[in-house]
Amino acid sequence: MKESGIFGLHDVPLRIVYEGISFSIEKDRGGLLYKRKCMDEEVENIFLSSNSKVLINPIEPLNMPKELTPYLLIEFEKSIFIEPMTNKKIFITFPVEIGIFVHGKKEYQIIDVLTLAKQKFTLYGSIKNGVICKYWKSGVYSTMPDINPIYEGGIELSMRNTTMRWVEVTKAVFNAYGMKIYYSDDMVSMNANMKILSKKIAEIGFVGSRLEKGMKRSLELYISRKIPMIATKFLMEEGI
Amino acid sequence: MILEKIIYGNVTGFDLLETVVFLIIAILIARVVVIYLRRSLKDRMSRDIMEIVIKVIYYTIIVIAVLFVLRRLGIELSGLLVAGGIIGIVIGFATQSIVGNLVSGLFLMIERPIKIGDQVNIDGTSGFVEDIHTVSTIIRTYEGLYVRIPNEKVFTNKITNYVVNTARRFEYVVGIRYSDDADEAIEIIKDLIEEHPIALKSPSATVFVDNLGNNAVNIIVRIWAPPTEWYDLKMEMLWNIKKGLEENGIEIAFPQRTVWFANELHK
């Protein structure tokens, strides 16, 4: 696995050039001057903060190119057939979005989000009852694949077929409000459960556990906005 | 003193003043609660649900305050209902259109063909639904105009809600020259759609030769998009397609006519 080294808490001034991402944060006239260049897009902002800490970590991959939905649909490159009444574990990938936060007065404020992953949206379900989802296509692996954490993260997906039939699974839809992202220098990961309730219905939720010791929990955007009435799981009722 | 003077029953002027002050305080509290809720819920729930929650809480506070005040003034609710019934009939006749709008407003809230923030067309007025009151609906047109439509009109007219479904399709007709390769053009257009993040992966876009026109081979391009984004995408994609085709030597055809002369022209 590749080591990115860009995730974590950094001091200002900070300058990072890595894999097509280039950004810098410098002290400037009592504030912070942020400059970023990523995929031909340039951003320059001033932050009136005397603080000198910047947090960079992976966030829910649902903010770019614009925040349209809290749902991420991952289509599997190959269909999975799971036998009746069994638990199986697979690994799939998800696109990484990098959140840059500035720290001030015990509060973190997101200042930018960037990504090198391909962006695409799709519809899950029917035009009348479906939902717009961020789209990602992933291979299916038996162990964590060798991926670059700047581009992709890995999801350990525990699948439980509670039916008495073989079930074909071609995709999974995840709710951003439940995402728990962990990161280290060489890996970005999530841990999720898929409970198959029938041939066409499954429930997907996240588990707050690290895949490896020493991984840090990301500061997510959606978790901070969560209010009790918002569901954190996703019920796939329009086919799996 | 005037405040100690009995107005009716045991109710004094002071009681009335106390009631007014109490109601004003209740309204102020309700407004403060509304401001607080609006601030704290703004980023956490959709605007239409937030407005309903806020209105329910606001009117609950007001109704509780009014009920409390009526009891303090010694007004029995049963007597009020009888009096209210008679007055209601009188007012009903006098304000038929208002009552009609009110009832239509209630049905609109139950049926919910439109929500706050939706893009709609009601009786020829297109724009965003700004608010749904009990007697009228407010539309902010795309030109930025404020339009108030009585709910009776909203309820009885044809409503087109542009965003109620999860996806919306739009289409172009792209005419290329007969000398160009239509298969190649279709591939280029499909690639451009695939590259654009907002053009939905599913339902997939369809691109095909629709007809052999007088001046061009007409290719139909149908793209699905989220309903809030379709117009921006529609504006962007057409030019992307035009540029993409021209970069690959395929040109958009324009009307032309080949003229054959029966006799050779003399120089």
Region B162-174: mean pLDDT is 92
Residue A75: other Cβ atoms inside 10 A: 16
Which chain B residue shows the shortest CA-CA distance from A228?
Answer: B44
Cβ of B200 within 8 Å of Cβ of A125? The answer is: no
A135 interaction partners in chain B (CB closer than 8 Å): 201-202
pLDDT for A232? 82
Cβ of B197 within 8 Å of Cβ of A65? The answer is: yes
Answer whether B226 touches A (CB < 8 Å): yes
Alpha-carbon distance B117 to nearest alpha carbon in chain A (angstroms): 15
Region B67-85: mean pLDDT is 74
State how far the Cα of A139 lies from the Cα of A118, in Å rounded to an integer: 15
What's the ipTM? Answer: 0.86
Amino acid at A128: K
| Whole-number percent of chain B with pLDDT over 70 | 89
A127 interaction partners in chain B (CB closer than 8 Å): 165-167, 203
**pTM, full prediction:** 0.76
> Of residues A12 and B145, which shows the higher confidence score?
B145
Decide: residue A31, CB within 10 A, 0-12 exposed, 13-18 middle, 19+ buried: middle
Residue B239: other Cβ atoms inside 10 A: 9
Alpha-carbon distance B86 to nearest alpha carbon in chain A (angstroms): 43
pLDDT for B203? 94
First-to-last alpha carbon distance for chain B, in angstroms, is 118
For A71-99, write each residue's pLDDT tens digit: 999 999 999 999 999 999 999 999 999 99
Alpha-carbon distance A122 to nearest alpha carbon in chain B (angstroms): 5
State how far the Cα of B73 lies from the Cα of B96, in Å rounded to an integer: 32
Q: Please say if the pLDDT value at position B88 is more than 70.
A: no
For B208-259, write each residue's pLDDT tens digit: 999 998 889 999 999 999 998 999 999 999 999 999 999 999 999 888 777 8
Q: Please say if the pLDDT value at position A168 is more than 90.
A: yes
- What is the b/e burial string over A107-140, where b = at least 16 CB atoms within 10 angstroms of the residue's CB? ebeebbbbbbbebbbbbbbeeeebbbbbbbebeb
State how far the Cα of B182 lies from the Cα of B219, in Å rounded to an integer: 8
pLDDT for A227? 56
